[in-house]
Amino acid sequence: MRNWFLIATSAALLTAAGVAMAQAPQAPAAARPAAASAYRAPRTSDGKPNLNGVWQAITEANWDIEAHSAAPSPIKELGATGAMPAGAGIVEGGSIPYLPEALKKKKENQANRLKLDPEVKCYLPGVPRAVYQPYPFQIIQSTKHIMMLHTFAGAVRTVYMSDQTEAPADSWMGWSNGKWEGESLVVDTKGFNDQSWFDRAGNFHSDALHVVERFTPRSADTLNYEATIEDSKTFSRPWKISLPLYRRVEPNAMIMEFRCVEFVEDLLYGHLKKQPASK
């Protein structure tokens, strides 16, 4: 029975190939990425898909998660190094479905982003921004806890795989409970405060934010990352982002310190510095 199926399938495939070859010469179709569900990741010793490693997003999303063209630096002296590169966006469907009042606030945020973007002040980046900031993060996976350790400001996320509770208090990085669904790690995060942004373009949320993420291995060195974002105080409906995550495959990849607090002290407290006494 199984052999019959195989023969039938092979015949069908050969026929299809034959048809393809008989068509007029044209540019060969671009290779499509392997379907995410087809890949089965190696397992950890406790039998779960192995997500251990150093990962990094390659995307312009941290500047603006929606599609955007390149734009100049808000600070003249930085020239091209402070400019924003264009990005195709990571928001499925293209636009974030803001409620009308919230959209006004987003625009205010954007116009005043140097003053208001918490990233400028080295504040914890929140979720999902920490995932697509342009710095590596490390996943350390044990049975009960999966840690996600970020470069920027040393941000830490603990995903509780058991002994799960509600968030005891609001926080910047939220409170994450996780479970396995087939090949995917599904992380449900609530308990956010309203302080973090999604990017440098002023996209924001309230403390009603609820994020559900899926980390799904798509090959030995890549993950598919998706996040559904829900916040009834800010958006008219849930919306989704998706992007690949790439493993840092060079030997001895490590998360290095990016303790930026001391880099922003002059910015935050410089005006409170004692001035030399005037004669």
Partner 1 sequence: MKTLALAFALFSTAILAAQSPTYRAPRTPDGQPDLQGFWTNSTYVPLERPQGVNKAYYTPEEAEARIKKAEAAESAQTTPGTTADVHYDFSQFGLDRSQSAFVRSLRTSLIVDPPDGRVPPYSEEGKRRLAAREAEAKKLGGRWDSAESNQLDDRCIIMAGPGPPMMDTAYNANYQIVQTTGYVMILTEMIHDVRIVPLDGRPAPDSRVRQWMGVSRGRWDADTLVVETTNFNGKNPFQGSDENLKVIERFRRVGDDTIEYRFTIDDPTMWARTWTAESAMKKTVGPIFEHACHEGNFGLYNTLVGARLEEQRAAEAAARRGGSSGPPASSDSPAKKDSK
Partner 2 sequence: MRHRTLVSALIVSVVIAIAMAATSSVSGQSAPLEKPRAVAKAVPTGKPYTPPKTPDGQPDLQGFWTNSTYVPLERPNGVTKEFYNKEEAEAAMKRSAEREAEQTEPGTTADVHYDFTQFGLDRSQSTFATSLRTSQIYDPPDGKVPPLTAEGQKRQQERAAARKQAGGQYDDVKNMPIGSRCIIMGGAGPPLQNAGYNANYQIVQGAGYVMILTEMIHDARIIPIDNRPAPPSGVRQWTGISRGHYEGNTLVVETTNFNGKNPFRNGSENMKVTERFTRIADDAIEYKFTIDDPATWTKSFSADLPLVKTDGPIFEFACHETNFGIANILAGAREDDKKAAEQKKKPSSN
In angstroms, the CA 217 to CA 41 distance is: 6
Binder of residue 122, out of partner 1, partner 2, none (CB less than 5 to 8 A by kind): partner 2
49-78 binders of partner 2 (CB under 8 A): 50, 52
CB of 124 to partner 2, least distance (A): 6
Looking at beta carbons only, is 19 or 272 nearer to partner 2?
272
Long-range (24+ apart) CB contacts under 8 A made by 19-23 are none
Q: Which of 3, 69, 81, 252 binds partner 1 (CB under 8 A)?
A: 69
Q: Are 264 and 152 in contact (CB under 8 A)?
A: no
Task: Give CA angle at 235 (157, 91), nearest 5°.
Answer: 65
- Asked if 255 is part of the footprint of partner 2 (rule: CB under 8 A), the reply reads yes
- Asked if 155 is part of the footprint of partner 2 (rule: CB under 8 A), the reply reads yes
Distances (CA, A) of 218 to 11, 51, 83, 224: 28, 11, 33, 6
Burial-class residue 158 by CB neighbours within 10 Å (0-12, 13-18, 19+).
Answer: middle
Looking at beta carbons only, is 4 or 269 nearer to partner 2?
269
Q: Which of 169, 182, 250, 279 binds partner 2 (CB under 8 A)?
A: 169
In angstroms, the CA 83 to CA 95 distance is: 22
In angstroms, the CA 42 to CA 46 distance is: 11
In angstroms, the CA 192 to CA 27 distance is: 49
| Piece of 72-80, 206-214, 225-233, 248-256 that binds partner 2 (CB under 8 A) | 248-256
In angstroms, the CA 34 to CA 139 distance is: 23
Q: Which of 12, 58, 88, 261 binds partner 1 (CB under 8 A)?
A: 88
In angstroms, the CA 142 to CA 154 distance is: 20
| Piece of 84-92, 108-116, 143-151, 216-224 that binds partner 1 (CB under 8 A) | 84-92
Binder of residue 27, out of partner 1, partner 2, none (CB less than 5 to 8 A by kind): partner 1
Q: Are 115 and 253 in contact (CB under 8 A)?
A: no
Binding mask 8-27 for partner 1 (x = CB under 8 A): ----------------xxxx
180-209 binders of partner 2 (CB under 8 A): 195
In angstroms, the CA 79 to CA 255 distance is: 29
Binder of residue 171, out of partner 1, partner 2, none (CB less than 5 to 8 A by kind): partner 2
Binding residues for partner 1, per CB under 8 A? 24-30, 66-69, 86, 88-89, 94
Binding residues for partner 2, per CB under 8 A? 44-46, 50, 52, 118, 122-124, 138-145, 147, 149, 153-156, 158, 160, 163, 165, 168-169, 171-173, 195, 251-252, 254-257, 259, 261-262, 265, 268-269, 272-274, 277
